[in-house]
Structure formats: C-alpha cells, structure tokens
Amino acid sequence: MTCPLFNTQIEIFLSEYGLGAQQIELQCERSMMECIAAPAKCDGDVEAKAFTILDEFVPKFVETRMKRLRSLVSKIREIGIPCVIKKAPKALRCAYEALQESKNRNDAAQDALMILATMNWKPRPVPEFLPPLHYQTVARLRNKVLRRLTDAELILLRHNQSVDDLEAFLITTSLLYAAQDSGTCKCV
C-alpha cells in the first residue's frame, strides 16, 4: 500500500514552487483511488475499473501530476539543488547532482543511472500486507488495462520516460524517504 500522506507530501512540495493542485482535485483523486482500490465483485467490475483507470484516472490525475512534476524539475534546475535532495541518501544525491552537470542531458542521465548502479542503490522495500483478494483484483485490473491497449500503445508505454522523469523520480523518492524517516509516512 502506498503511503496515504505521500501524495500530500508531493503536493506540499509542488505548492512550494507554485505548482500545487487544488484541494477539490485532490479529494476527487482520493475518491477515485478508493473506488478503484475496492475489490471487484465480478469481471464486469474489473472491466469498468480498467476503463476508469485509462479514461479518467490517468488523464485527469496521473498525467497532470506528471506535467506539474516536469515543470517542477525545470524550476528547480534554475534555482539549484533542493534541500530534500541535499538530505537524501548519498546515491540519490550524487545521481541528482550528475543530472545538473552542464552537458548533454542524455549523457547526464546515463551518468546518474551509472552512479545509482555502482553505488548498489535499491529502493527501500515497502511491506504490503494486502489480502489475496486485493492482489487478484490488481492483477485482473492490470490484465484488462493491458488487453485494451494496442501493441503500439504498449511499446510507447514501455519507452516513454525522459531525463526529466528520472529527475522527478529522484526528487519524489527523496521526498518519500524523508517522510518515512520523519515518521510522517508509514508504509504498511
């Protein structure tokens, strides 16, 4: 289960840079997440949830947050290294700093990834204690979503990350770690 406060932590950080979401949008997102997360009672429910994820949740919430995170990355790049990165584990900090080098961004991304690899960085394990029914619902939802996508769309989904996405990942991972370390977020 993801940290219930994690989106709040991201939104607080985005707000600090003038990129936060409206409270009503966050409440709507939470409601839709709770609806999607509820176990499906039949295959029709699973299919309806798959459509909801693809047609509503992803365009309305995921894509808009990604746009705001990419805008955040651009703003932070102009300002300098944020405090949350300065306090992050060494591998994340060094990888982020490599992305800030004034050279080709793709080369910088390769350097950042190599730093993570050579420092043997692995994400912290997040214990998930969900009943088997929840796991089955997630797997069924995933299968319905993937069956609905064309082969071309699947290829795009697999290869659509950018250097800004890596930079946003380093920032959000550092935010999550800071929230976990401070006890603000307990992922259980």
**Please, what is the average pLDDT of the chain?**
82
Is the pLDDT assigned to residue 7 strictly greater than 70?
A: no
Q: What stretches of 119-162 show up as alpha helix (H) in DSSP?
A: 132-148, 151-158
Distance CA 94, CA 92 (A): 6
Q: What is the mean pLDDT of residues 109-118?
A: 96
Q: What is the pLDDT of residue 5?
A: 44
Alpha-carbon span 22 to 144, nearest angstrom: 31
CA-wise closest residue to 142 among 134, 65, 8, 92: 134
Contacts of 140 (CB under 8 A, 6+ apart): 40, 43, 46
- Is pLDDT of 70 > 80? yes
pLDDT above 80 (res 125): no
Mean pLDDT (whole number) for 127-156 = 63
- pLDDT of 73 reads 93
Lowest mean pLDDT among 5-19, 51-65, 109-123, 164-178: 5-19
pLDDT at 103: 78
